[in-house]
Amino acid sequence: MSIATLRRTASAIDAKTPAHRDRAIDGLRALALLAVPMGHWLLGGFSLDGEGALHNASPLSSFGFLAPISWMLQMLGIFFLVGGYASVLSYRRTLEAGGSTGAWLRGRLARLGRPVLGVTAVCAALIPALYALGVPEKTLHTGSTLAIQPLWFVGVYTVITALTPYCVSAARKLGAWAAAPLLGSVAVIDFLRYGPYADATPSWLSLLNLLPGWMFAYQLGVCWGEKRIGRRGAWALLIGGAALFATLLLAFHYPESMVGVPGVARTNSHPPSLLVLALAAAQSGAAMLLRDRIGRLLRRPVLWAPVVVINLSAMTILCWHQTALLTAAIPGSFVGAIPGLTTSPDSLGWIAARIAWLPVFAGLLVLIGRYTRGFEAPWKRATHVRRAVAGLLAAGFAVFALGLA
């Protein structure tokens, strides 16, 4: 495709964009979406055992100085922020048009659930076929863990989306302070699990951080959409979040990496620690302050067109990017040690080789997306029997991936 054709396509997409479309919000969402596969592809690797099976590994185990990269690539706070902002606008439009809260929720949840059901059902069907082709069981478990890894996020996001009406009510009553109790609850749980009572605190208590930890940025987005956070509030979030982030790292010795590192017991993201909320606050403040500038930048068709494409493929990117990685790695494991792909991520050479692999992973994701984007659209031909079969396959895959069978 020539440059002239690309420019014409970009101009056509720009011309079809409604004037009221908030380009900055879409741009922020696209940035957060791209950070997910980039983070997994750059900070996740494999080791190959003597039997040719793949095991999860991370360059962060050998190179702690790479931790700041995880700060830049951990943009789920931005994703939840714009999710809350967009949800409140969509919810308001639905009610103004005479729709009901129930109908709005059903539509939003269906858009999230269909792609997840699709990827898990497909993976469940592939597992026995790959095993029959000689893929080791350990590799299948490793791959299943990676494939299901992004889906916990979709599950949490679904629950939070269902709570949108309550978030709106809280924002209207309390303004930006509606997010404060969420921050406080995570701080209390962190104190119990990391403070003087850590030995007496049961490990399951950390799971209580899941909902408030990720709902914090979503609530900020709802408050933003309700016009309850202005520039002064945005500056407070940016400065306060950055200060809290630095304090937690330097004074309270939180792990530097924003993602889990194999072999390290304490993690910031699973479930989220107070450090995640501090980063989300700083990112949210920066996003609010840069919104107008981002919006003006995306008036250029050549920049706006990729944002549209990424947003239209949001769930495909989230659900299938690990499959793209595995599509290269599993065949590679039969070849042997391939730098940046199946070799252990314990050298600077691995980092350079992995960067060289990124275009391959991206190309595979585009190819996979051509055949899987249909899962994002309504399933017009899905009978009750087909949906039941898909549900059973998805449940079976979850059981296998989580090591329950």
Query: What's the pTM?
Result: 0.92
**Residue 310: pLDDT over 70:** yes
Give the span between the Cα atoms of 177 and 196, in whole angstroms: 29
Residue written as token pair 């730098």: 339
Which among 40, 34, 60, 32 is positioned nearest to 326, based on CA atoms?
40
- pLDDT, position 384: 66
Domain boundaries, the chain: 20-401
- Residues 188-211 have pLDDT tens digits of 999 999 988 888 889 889 999 999
8 A C-beta contact, residue 43 and residue 73: yes
- Residues 367-380 have pLDDT tens digits of 999 988 888 777 66
- Rounded to an integer, the average pLDDT of 78-104 is 93
Coil/strand/helix, residue 197? coil
8 A C-beta contact, residue 122 and residue 389: no
Give the span between the Cα atoms of 281 and 10, in whole angstroms: 34
Mean pLDDT is lowest, of 205-214, 296-305, 378-387, for 378-387
- Rounded to an integer, the average pLDDT of 110-121 is 87
381 against 168, higher pLDDT:
168
**pLDDT-based confidence at residue 155 (cuts at 50, 70, 90):** confident
- pLDDT, position 77: 93
- Rounded to an integer, the average pLDDT of 39-49 is 92
**Residue 143: pLDDT over 70:** yes
Q: Which regions of 73-177 does DSSP assign to beta strands (E)?
A: none
Name, of 18-27, 141-150, 167-176, the range with top average pLDDT: 167-176
Give the span between the Cα atoms of 99 and 335, in whole angstroms: 57
